[in-house]
Amino acid sequence: MKSHIKEFWDKKIIGWEQDKYERQKKIDVNVSLKERLKIAGRILQSGLVGSKIVELGCGSGRLLPIIAKLPHIHYVGIDVSPVAIAEAQKRAKELGIEERVNLIAGSIVDHSFEKVDLVFSLGLLDWLSDEEMNLMIKNVRAPHFFHSFSEQRPSLSQFLHRLYVFSFYGHKDPSYVPRYYTDEEMFGLLRGENVKFYRSKKLSFGTFCYDLPFDLETI
Ligand SMILES: C[S@@+](CC[C@H](N)C(=O)[O-])C[C@H]1O[C@@H](n2cnc3c(N)ncnc32)[C@H](O)[C@@H]1O
């Protein structure tokens, strides 16, 4: 992993999350990110995904309030940013669930997990190289997964996203910017087995790839 990635996320993550999830704006351009968090919450609350779950790139643990309502779940969250993990630890403590929550500051490429029922990520895959994706898949084997990713599309919202990325940080370091996958690329990286895709208008160009015991259309 490139050494500056930890510093990049340490500086960015808390402000990014506050901007995306908390700031009230007249025109909400972050509907898609709020929607993907809601969908993740609904999947966890389905009760059908097992009890040992691992979230990759968990940020400050925005799903912990939902975990708090699901006493059978043992949650592992890993994030490359120690700043994000410190915030997640604070959140777990406030919710009184530290004993069934394990939070790790580190890169997903350096940690492997066993006996996992479900592995998932929101917004992480956009930041991984093919090599890191392969390591991620090797490091966590689970019967079920779901991951959100940015799907490559010729849309106005994607054009504006590219412009936003370039203006705010891409021009400083073009080697570390989010990527957009086609569904074929994602299919190939996940080796195709039982992978389904879920798209919705609210998610904009955000797409879920998943293998779950139900269709995401039904939740
Ligand atoms: C776009 S943010 C999404 C955060 C959170 N999942 C959410 O949806 O609000 C991507 C997250 O992935 C983390 N991340 C990036 N590369 C990582 C890596 N190699 N290993 C672990 N975490 C990583 C970042 O620190 C950041 O918290």
Say if ligand 1 is within 6 A of residue 103 CB.
Answer: no
Note the pLDDT of residue 174. Answer: 86
* Ligand 1 center to 155 CA (angstroms): 25
Note the pLDDT of residue 1. Answer: 57
The answer regarding whether domain 4-218 maps to CATH 3.40.50.150 reads: yes
Nearest CA to ligand 1 atom 3: 123
Note the pLDDT of residue 41. Answer: 98
Note the pLDDT of residue 205. Answer: 95
Tens-binned pLDDT, residue by residue, of the chain (219 aa): 566 899 999 999 999 999 999 987 777 778 999 999 999 999 999 999 999 999 999 999 999 999 999 999 999 999 999 999 999 999 999 999 999 999 999 999 999 999 999 999 999 999 999 999 999 999 998 999 999 999 999 999 999 999 988 898 888 888 889 999 999 999 999 876 789 999 999 999 999 999 999 999 998
Note the pLDDT of residue 2. Answer: 61
* Ligand 1 center to 64 CA (angstroms): 15
Domain spans of the chain?
A: 4-218
> Which residue has tokens 């412009």?
163
pTM score, whole prediction: 0.96
What is the spatial order of strands in the sheet that 52-56 belongs to? 101-105, 74-79, 52-56, 118-121, 144-150, 206-211, 196-198
Question: Which residue intervals of the chain are DSSP H helices?
Answer: 4-17, 31-45, 64-68, 82-95, 130-139, 156-165, 183-189
Residues with Cβ within 8 Å of 15's Cβ and at least 6 positions away in sequence, in order, are none
Q: For residue 3, what is the enclosing H or E element?
A: none
* Ligand 1 center to 84 CA (angstroms): 9
